[in-house]
Structure 1
Amino acid sequence: MERIATEISGGCQCGAVRYHATAVLDTSHICHCRMCQKASGNFFAALIGVPRDALCWTRGAASTFNSSDKVERGFCRDCGTPLYYDYRESRHLSVTTGSLDEPARFPPKVQFGTEGRMSWFDTLPRLREEGTTEETMAEIVESIRTSNHQHPDHDTDAWPE
């Protein structure tokens, strides 16, 4: 695994937990296994490896759940955001790509646990697409936007502001 020197930051939805890293591993991936599905509450988990010596928690601390005897999963106890997967015998842990401030920087390079992949997964590109700012949703979108409690995708000195 190649270590890539780069600056990344991320955190949970409510802003109670934030992290920063100075390197990532060339391991951006998604995992379809049932354990990752349940841990992420989704069809797959998207993860990227971060060397332990490159990661620091800049606000709060993650709560943990041992999903097996060898794996710990970190999440925000306030809002429930999944933050990391930690196979304790590894020299790195994997942060959830969705918790990064810039998740688009790390597209997945491999899929694991494909035996658990949803059989209809390949049909997603053919589904009808709708944004969340269409005229038909303007009133709903505006009410959500004006009452939004989500932390912004960047570090803040304090939160809530």
Structure 2
Amino acid sequence: MRDAPRSRRRFAPLIVMLSVFGAVLLGVGGIYAWASIEPWTEGLSCSYPAKITGAITGQSGPVRCYLKALADDSTPQMLTVTRSNFGEPDVTEQPDPSAFRFSKDARSGVAHVKIEQTGVGADALVVIRFADGKLDVQRISLVDPSSAVAWRMGSVDDHTTKSYTSADGY
């Protein structure tokens, strides 16, 4: 009778380790399963220096990714930040060379970005003043209305917003 409690104690650390491993495996598996079910609700996140004001949840990430794509002259990065269908890049809409016209400016230093909400919940204007003084104005849109973080930049080839000026002098 005395041997039974001793053998249970001997396997207790193994049981605890297996339980922890199982919980971690279940958690990681759940994250990957959710990402495969709803990939379009993911927010974009890039590490790129910028001073951003006026952003609401989920808007800063795509702006930083846009600046990083500009600085790197990277078409694949640019495709991940442009508006698309359910978070997947639209292969029919490739950025033309004019999309990268501010590449040198993006590398000039820390950009000051002001995001101005348009009053329509699914759109905002992104006013970027680069360190060298150049100005870029883009549109940002919510690509999945059921998610607060699924923001993507509008068509970076669209030059219709370039004449925008605000009362703040941007």
Higher Rg of the two aligned structures? 2
TM over 0.5: no
| TM-score of the aligned structures, taking structure 1 as reference length | 0.25
- Greater RCO, CA 8 A, separation 6+: 1
**Structure with more of its chain in strand, by fraction:** 1
| Higher helix residue share | 2
